[in-house]
Amino acid sequence: MKYERIEKAVFRERPNRFIAYVDLNGTRETVHVKNTGRCAELLVPGAVVYIQKSENPQRKTKWDLIAVEKGSRMINMDSQIPNQVVREWIEEGNLFEDVALIKPETVYENSRFDLYVEAGERKIFIEVKGVTLEEEGVCRFPDAPSERAVKHLEELIRARKEGYESYVFFVIQMKDVRYFTPNIDTHPVFGETLKKAKASGVKILAYDCAVEPDSIRIDCPVDVVLESPRLKETVKPLVEWYRGHKRDLPWRKHMDAYRVWISEIMLQQTRVEAVKPYYARFLSELPDVKALAEVPEDRLLKLWEGLGYYNRARNLKQAACQIMEEYGGKFPETYEEIRSLKGIGNYTAGAVSSFVYNIPKPAVDGNVLRVVSRVLADGDDIAKASTRTKIERMIEEVIPRDAAGDFNQSLIELGAIVCLPNGEPKCEQCPVNSLCMAYCEGRQMDYPVKKRSAARRIEKRTVLIFSDGNEVAIRKRPGRGLLAGMYEFPNEEGYMNRRQVIEYAKEKGLAPVRIRKLPDAKHIFSHVEWHMKGYEILVDELEKKMNGEVIFAGCGELEEKYPMPSAFEVYYREAGAERKR
């Protein structure tokens, strides 16, 4: 859009919404203000403005106010121009293909939308909003309450439900801004309705403009932040902090999808330091998808032995087979394809796609839930799926397109080494403590809120090590349920005394020579605790006499061949075996 007859002047005052006084070449002139917003931060005495002379010599007010300088930024103030520049931009081939019709001021129900577009079979309504309010690079709308703007959003939602495509297009009438967000201080209802519109399928766009005293045109997309401007402000300091303070971890040395995937699955429910030796051993034997797809299950479980949650390992193998069959052995490269793999949820898909491919998808784990809850002083229960979904939505909205992986990892890293659970978080070391509401309120330990889980069920068990001095008896657990497919020492529910152990051994066809009481042990699963008592039963000729589906294994075989869960760690050592890390 090009203006003619533009002159430079100096703003003096604005006695009402419609007119202002300026100095033009030493003469006081009355100008028409083509923007009924407050614009108080723009129209300050002494500001350089640009005015356009009317083509109508009979008009009482001969000048229109077009633009103003605010520091080094040129801002177009003409509220009648955004519709025109959007129309010109679409006519140039932007946003839609095969445009057959662009019609201004089109009535729908009780509203008049700024533009109606037909492109092929598509029928599209566009409501255009000019934005001139800017503070520290953040643009907001409206600068005054606007019930009309809320009504337009509600009508766009209705149009979307009836099959039309619906857009809100915020024209940022200036250049070099950081992001756009609704002005909830001035009109919170507009902000809530805008979020509702997005959730219903209305597309929310914001573009800045290249502005000169005599021209304006749509230029570049601007990030739209509807959920949390505070979270958006953490992006730059967190990314910078992460790049300077990240830990030296083995899976960060070669950032390929397979390695990240393996590490992320291992790190679920397991500490970083505990994972390191398992990760190295696993990759040494299974360096790629093909090797993982072909490994026998017993060997896979042996490599996983001690990490727990063994279905994770089985799901890895199934996903590897899926990659071989569906993607020719090449790890998929889109979020949706990664998310479709067996055993991969939102977190792992977000981690792999952002860390490796820089796809702006969130990776929300417990660390991230804690960090965001504290930054926002959010009291919603993080154990609820709705809270996780909300935080995923907030993060996805602010992920920087040029640093998606580093931003996601910065949140995880901050939660792991600074924003700690339980004990005191290291708030003085936090790069975003000035933005953290919990810290500013002195309530760090009040967040996150997590409803106490139901008490775990206690299960008493007796573990029996039958040994002839060379081998011990083990058995394979069923293929489904807790610790499915793993190997174990014979064990029974309830506590047994020596007499009962002797009777049990005789039922298995054995004659005990000596019984030794072993230490008590406890193992905690997610929903049950095993409280165990153990006995070692020395017998003669174990292999020949013991009945039942058992395997006889020496210490070397226990260590190398048969995967046994860490629930039996105490008794594993009592049998003379040692874990290989």
Query: What DSSP string describes 225-258?
Result: -SS-HHHHHTHHHHHHHHHHH----GGGTS--HH
Q: Are strands 512-524 and 528-539 parallel, antiparallel or unpaired?
A: antiparallel
End-to-end CA distance of the chain: 69
Amino acid present at 317: K
Q: Which residue, 332, 253, 308, 319, is CA-closest to 286?
A: 319
Residue with tokens 């953290």: 436
pLDDT tens track, the chain, 581 positions: 899 999 999 999 999 989 999 999 999 999 999 887 778 889 999 999 999 999 888 888 999 999 999 999 999 999 999 999 999 999 999 999 999 999 999 998 888 999 999 999 999 999 999 999 999 999 999 988 889 999 999 999 999 999 999 999 999 999 999 999 999 999 999 999 999 999 999 999 999 999 999 999 999 999 999 999 999 999 999 999 999 999 999 999 988 999 999 999 999 988 999 999 999 999 999 999 999 999 999 999 999 988 888 899 999 999 999 999 999 999 999 999 999 999 999 999 999 999 999 999 999 999 999 999 999 999 999 999 999 999 999 999 999 999 999 999 999 999 999 999 987 899 999 999 999 999 999 999 999 999 887 888 999 999 999 998 888 999 999 988 889 889 999 999 999 999 999 999 988 888 889 999 999 999 998 889 999 999 999 988 765 666 667 888 888 888 889 999 989 999 998 888 776 65
Question: Coil, strand, or helix at residue 493?
Answer: strand
**530: Cα within 13 Å, side-chain hemisphere:** 21
CA distance 51 to 29: 10
For residue 389, what are its two tokens? 């979904």
CA distance 412 to 242: 10
Question: Coil, strand, or helix at residue 526?
Answer: coil
> Which is catalytic among the residues 29, 264, 305, 536?
264
Active site residue 264: yes
C-alpha distances (whole Å) from 474 to each of 41, 471, 480, 543, 575 are 79, 10, 18, 11, 11
CA distance 329 to 252: 22
For residue 119, what are its two tokens? 């492109």
Contacts for 57 with CB less than 8 Å, ≥ 6 apart: none
Residue 49, H or E segment: strand 48-53
